Amino acid sequence: MAETRTLGEFLVERGVSRRAFLKYSSYLATLMALPPSAAEAMAEGLAKARRQAVIWLSFQECTGCTESLTRAFSPTLEDLIFNFISLDYHHTLMAVSGEAAENARLQSMAENKGKYIVMADGSVPMKDGGVYSTIAGRTNLETLHETAKDAFAVISVGTCAAFGGLPHADPNPTGAVAIQDIVKDKPVINIPGCPPIPDVMTGTVAHILSFGKLPELDDLKRPKAFFGETIHDRCYRRPFYQRGLFAKSFDDEGARKGWCLYEVGCKGPVTYNACATLKWNGGVSFPIQSGHGCLGCSEPDFWDKGGFYRPLPTPLASVREHVTEAAAAGAVLGGAAAWLARSQQNAYKSETKKPEEA
């Protein structure tokens, strides 16, 4: 529903003071590693912003991303974000509403033309006319085209939406593609992760609200503030890596001592995400802290990169069979070369002897 009040006005009516903005902004500034002084500017920006209309589309997905986001809905600071946005349509949360829900989407699109944000989770099937995922009798592709047309920006939530994710994994039976493969004429922000960190989702939206523009993105269109460093860079086990102390299996002495999980397949060094700093479940832990290597879930095709337990520096393909063939071929050519040289020598010998004998 088109909102005319600023967030400041809206919240003041609900008895939320500006201190809340400042506190939330301080929190976001910490999350996004913005300079502390940015918090005040951010708070001012938020107060002046309009409530943001958001349309949430779900395609080929597992609802894990939504779960992740709603897990942040404990009565804490972060739930402020839900005062900042107007979630006009959420397919999963509204599933029972049928036709009425679809109408809500169309109404919001009309009222907030060019201003609403589309948040999409899940990949879009392209094979066989996109029949593998439909909502209200329409393919995901149609829905996405229609909804994205008048959007301000599209935020791809989760690795499926950002890079194709699991549906896209080999052999990709549905011909699944990422949102960015379809939406070419609107700004796209990818917030990958399987699922993404809730604070990263809310932080990105808050950034757009307070600064009125997209955050700085990396080459995979991920907000640099959250995806600027690898898990490895920020991992508390990094010192063990430097000292060459590695767990060799999940139940050895090294694992018990909390040594680096590089050798049991941790993808931390090539995975850009904020897990090691923001952590999960209200800051309790993250996979490496819980004793398992990073799967690299915020990277494209993480499912097809040779296995979660295959250490990074090892070859992905089996080289040994080809090596045998190569050795055999080399042996044949080596033998042939030696044979050639020997027969050449014999020819020289008989040639050079001739004149003398003659």
Distance, in Å, from the CA atom of 106 to the CA atom of 59, rounded to the nearest integer, reads 18
- Contact between 352 and other proteins per CB under 8 A: yes
- Contact between 283 and other proteins per CB under 8 A: yes
Distance, in Å, from the CA atom of 167 to the CA atom of 178, rounded to the nearest integer, reads 10
Distance, in Å, from the CA atom of 289 to the CA atom of 291, rounded to the nearest integer, reads 5
- Contact between 170 and other proteins per CB under 8 A: no
Question: Which 70-99 residues touch other proteins, going by CB under 8 A?
Answer: 74-80
Q: Using CB under 8 A, which of 95, 110, 131, 331 touches other proteins? A: 331
3-state SS record for 84-112 = HEEEEEECCCCHHHCHHHHHHHHHHHHHC
User: What's the Cα-to-Cα distance from 72 to each of 62, 76, 153, rounded to whole Å?
Assistant: 18, 8, 23
- Contact between 105 and other proteins per CB under 8 A: no
> What would the DSSP string read from start to end of 279-292?
-BTTTTB-TTTTT-
- Contact between 137 and other proteins per CB under 8 A: no
Distance, in Å, from the CA atom of 178 to the CA atom of 182, rounded to the nearest integer, reads 7
Question: Which 236-275 residues touch other proteins, going by CB under 8 A?
Answer: 236-237, 239, 241-244, 246, 255-258, 262-263, 269-270
Alpha carbon 217 to chain centroid, angstroms: 13
Residue 95 vs 331, nearer CB to other proteins: 331
Residue 132 vs 286, nearer CB to other proteins: 286
Q: Using CB under 8 A, which of 129, 212, 307, 334 touches other proteins? A: 334
In angstroms, give the least distance from the CB of 331 to other proteins.
5
Opening angle at CA 132, ends 128 and 137, nearest 5: 100
> What would the DSSP string read from start to end of 59-84?
-B--SHHHHHHHHT-SSSGGGGHHHH
Question: Which 200-219 residues touch other proteins, going by CB under 8 A?
Answer: none
Interface mask (CB under 8 A) for other proteins, residues 30-49, using x and -?
Answer: x--x-xxx-xx------x--
- Contact between 5 and other proteins per CB under 8 A: no
Distance, in Å, from the CA atom of 225 to the CA atom of 248, rounded to the nearest integer, reads 33
In angstroms, give the least distance from the CB of 207 to other proteins.
15
Residue 96 vs 317, nearer CB to other proteins: 317
- Number of residues this chain uses to bind other proteins (CB under 8 A): 95
- Contact between 320 and other proteins per CB under 8 A: yes
- Contact between 173 and other proteins per CB under 8 A: no
- Contact between 29 and other proteins per CB under 8 A: yes
Q: Is the dihedral of CA 32, 36, 42, 47 positive or negative?
A: positive
- CB 156, CB 183: distance < 8 Å: no
Interface mask (CB under 8 A) for other proteins, residues 286-305, using x and -?
Answer: ---xxx--------xx---x
In angstroms, give the least distance from the CB of 333 to other proteins.
4
